[in-house]
Every structure is written in C-alpha cells, then in structure tokens.
Amino acid sequence: MSAIIVMIAVSIAIALVFLIAFLWASFNGQYEDDYTPSIRMLWDDKRKDHK
C-alpha cells in the first residue's frame, strides 16, 4: 500500500518538473519564434571547401 503512495508522489513530482519546464520555456519566449532556431543551428562558422 505505501508503495503506491510513494509512486504517486514520484509521478506527480515528475509531472510537475515537466510543467515547470514548460512554463519556464513559455516565459522565456521559446514559443515566439519556432522557425529561426531550426535554421541557425545549421551554420558552420567557416566553410572549408571554397568553390
């Protein structure tokens, strides 16, 4: 019986972590621009093989 209570506490705690992560991301404006970062990560600083 006590095992279930512990499990439920753990499950709620994990769910809360995700909720907080979501809130943090929203307040940080991560959902304001969902396109540019996908492009930004593709650049290298300098391409080696110049045509």
Partner 1 sequence: MVFEILSSSDLDNYYCLNEFPGAKNESIDPGKYDFLTDPQIISSLVQYQGKELTRVTFDIPTIHCSSCIWLLERLHKLNTGIISSTVNFPKKQIMVSFDTAKYSLKELVILLASIGYKPDLNLSHISGTKKEKSKSLLTIQLGVAGFCFGNIMLFSFPEYLSLGIPLAPEYSMMFSYLNIGLSLPIVFFSAKDYFISAFKSLHSKSLSIDVPIALGASVLFIRSVIDIIFYNQAGYLDSLAGLIFFLLIGKWFQNKTYQSISFDRDYKSYFPISVSVKRGKTVTNISLSNLKIGDTLLIRNNELIPADSILQSDNALIDFSFVTGEAEPIQKNKGDLIYAGGKLHGTHISVKTIKDVSQSYLTQLWNEVSPKHKIDKNISHITNTVSRYFTPTILAISLIAAIAWWFIDKTQVINVFTTILIIACPCALALTVPFTYGNALRILGKKRIYLKHANVVEAISKIDTIVFDKTGTLMINDIKSIVYAGDSLSEKEKAMVHQLTQNSIHPQSIAISRNTPTQKSLKVDLFEETIGMGIKGNISGNSIKIGSTAFLNANNVSAIDNNINGTWLCINNEVKGQFIVKRNLRKGLKNMFRRLKNKYHLHLLSGDNDTQKDDFDGLIRPENLVFNQSPSDKLDYVSSLKNLQKNVLMVGDGLNDAGALLESQVGMAVTDETNQFSPACDVIIEGDKLKSLPNILAFCKRQKWIVYAGFVISIAYNIIGLSFALQGLLSPIIAAILMPLSSITVVLACIFLSQVTAHKYRF
> Which positions touch partner 1 (CB under 8 A)?
1, 4-5, 8, 11-12, 15, 18-19, 22-23, 26, 31-36, 39-40, 42-43, 46-47, 50-51
Query: CB 49 → partner 1: shortest distance, Å?
Result: 9
Q: Residues with Cβ < 8 Å from 31, sequence gap 6 or more?
A: 25
Query: CB 27 → partner 1: shortest distance, Å?
Result: 8
Phi, psi of 47 (to 5 degrees): -80, 140
Query: CB 14 → partner 1: shortest distance, Å?
Result: 11
